[in-house]
Structure 1
């Protein structure tokens, strides 16, 4: 297959993204990448400083397709594929095939639903990472159920990262940006003796009171994030009550690290964490449930280790980058074979 990938990161020399894990694939893979966008901006200003980068991506990918052989376009997340989908719909162009992977129905998609439905008529497949999205999105997007496909996400193996941070004390770890509920987590840390290391952007911590046992490290490099997770006793992923696939990368990273996980019960966590076997799920916004789960894992190291082993085993079976890349590749082949 001749595949054009629309992603918002610039692959390095010799980096072929998912195809790094597909040594037997004979595809020709190319990339078009948008200019840098200010993803930390919120509110109306985001229309001016964030979304134009992805409109540019749609135009550039259209031009690229006009001059190159291409069987299928793979857009990573809706923001990278919707501008191209709109152009296809305006000009009634259905070739090459267009697949959007990791679509999340949020942001402008909820403000302009008519525009999304218009564009989605010219998208061949939407790949989502939760069963909830696969079941609920087709009527919202105006698509047949067969065109919205669930595919389990995969993640890098964080245990392969060389240790560069070793802290001289035991700690609980939490980190990440999207749709986190750090207020509930900080409140749940009351009277917990073990410190919590928290990697969060300053904006995510606004108006959240400080605690002496919560060490705010701010945002760190990806390697430092993995190292801090690898060195922790266990990982807490507090989420707001959202229905799309938020927090999944953190969940899969923790599973890869072989850590017991405490996560908010939302569709994303329910698809990937088996409560009581690979982690513990708590009700969104419940300070008492989260506090009790943290205290339980601190007081029961054998159970903590069992959950971590089970999580690592599940990661190795289903959620490696090799397994995920194979799943995406099979879906692309299926799309290219379809009429």
Structure 2
């Protein structure tokens, strides 16, 4: 079989791989998997966009996703397996490649299709018989797809592994210039830093936020209009981010309500650095980790709840250390890039 990986965004994968080997950044799991499978990687480009690509993109994806999907079918036969990293490019690929008489096997990882636009796209571009395997990160999304598209059990799989690079995100010593306790956080996807600010503004701690995300832009609700004097937020380079986790007494990931596991990447990065984590309660893997005592869960938007959880772990460092160690052991065993790549390769080799 011939293998293809279709990315939702363009990356300089060779540069990422080079930096990863030098320990300057985490690896890109799709690049690593492509080396094992000898897979071709396809990425959207801004050239060759036609008017009809823009029309279709009103329903799902971007014009460049539809341009990529339009150009890919002539290269594919029944001897090809195509993996799409998200529904934004996966639905266009399934729509245009799935009409071939000898079509390729198609696998799509679905992230967040609940919104009206996503539901409409599933109906407007019927792909239930064109995608051989749907992958999801959460049981609720798996159940939604099963009911909404009337799919049998063998067409949906939970992909619970995480791409956290445990050779990059590792435990280490805090900075020598650290002067007081530090609360760290990272990411923008569905983040509620207003609640974090209110819960920590009167504490004798520093609060530092890596305010960057590959999947989201900050909105007016994420941050308070004026940051407290003990809070700062900026972009951190990869090595700075690792050190931020290592410097943290606690990593706090405050979230707005969502049904697609926002905050997972930051949570597992912090755990891989052997840090205690407080995170807003969410169904799926996050709730599993809370129930296992690996992270501390707090209620959404509850300032007092978050304040108490932070004080409790700061005043009980032995408990924070125990929690961090349990989480670290779990990441080493299961939620890491090596397991992710192994599972992904198996899906590609057995899409049915």
TM-score bin (small chain): 0.7 to 0.9
Q: For residue 290 of structure 1, report the CA deviation from its aligned partner.
A: 1.1
Contact 1:22 1:322 in 2 (8 A): no
Alignment correspondent of 2:169:
159
Equivalent residues in 2 for 1:92-131, closer than 5 Å:
93=101, 95-106=103-114, 108-115=117-124, 118-131=126-139
Tell me, in whole angstroms, the C-alpha distance in 1 between the residues paired with 2:348 and 2:241.
Answer: 32
Equivalent residues in 2 for 1:55-66, closer than 5 Å:
55-65=66-76
TM-score relative to the length of structure 1? 0.83
Alignment correspondent of 1:203:
218
Equivalent residues in 2 for 1:33-182, closer than 5 Å:
33-35=43-45, 47=58, 51-65=62-76, 70-89=79-98, 91=99, 93=101, 95-106=103-114, 108-115=117-124, 118-154=126-162, 155-157=164-166, 158-160=168-170, 168-169=178-179, 170-182=181-193
Equivalent residue of 1:177, what SS? coil
Equivalent in 7, 11, 14 of residue 12 of structure 1: 14
Alignment correspondent of 1:32:
42
TM-score relative to the length of structure 2? 0.80
Tell me, in whole angstroms, the C-alpha distance in 2 between the residues paired with 1:260 and 1:162.
Answer: 14
Encode CA deviations 1:63-106: one digit per residue, 9 max, x unaligned. 4426xx852111112112111112134x2556211111253225
Gaps of 5+ in 2: 18-26, 48-56
Alignment correspondent of 2:254:
238
Q: For residue 262 of structure 1, report the CA deviation from its aligned partner.
A: 0.5
Q: For residue 140 of structure 1, report the CA deviation from its aligned partner.
A: 2.5
Tell me, in whole angstroms, the C-alpha distance in 1 between the residues paired with 2:253 and 2:16.
Answer: 34
Tell me, in whole angstroms, the C-alpha distance in 2 between the residues paired with 1:200 and 1:14.
Answer: 21
Equivalent residues in 2 for 1:209-220, closer than 5 Å:
209-220=225-236
Tell me, in whole angstroms, the C-alpha distance in 2 between the residues paired with 1:114 and 1:286.
Answer: 38
4+ long deviations beyond 6 Å: 161-166
2:289 is the alignment partner of 1:281: no
Tell me, in whole angstroms, the C-alpha distance in 1 between the residues paired with 2:230 and 2:312.
Answer: 18
Contact 2:253 2:278 in 1 (8 A): yes
Equivalent in 315, 322, 325 of residue 338 of structure 2: 322
Alignment correspondent of 1:3:
3
Encode CA deviations 1:289-324: one digit per residue, 9 max, x unaligned. 111111111111111111110110000000111111
Equivalent in 273, 277, 285 of residue 257 of structure 1: 273
Change (3 A) 1:162 1:279: closer
Tell me, in whole angstroms, the C-alpha distance in 2 between the residues paired with 1:86 and 1:294.
Answer: 48
Contact 2:107 2:133 in 1 (8 A): yes
Gaps of 5+ in 1: 38-45
Contact 1:255 1:308 in 2 (8 A): yes
Contact 1:85 1:120 in 2 (8 A): no
Change (3 A) 1:113 1:20: closer
Equivalent residue of 2:95, what SS? helix
Change (3 A) 1:114 1:20: closer
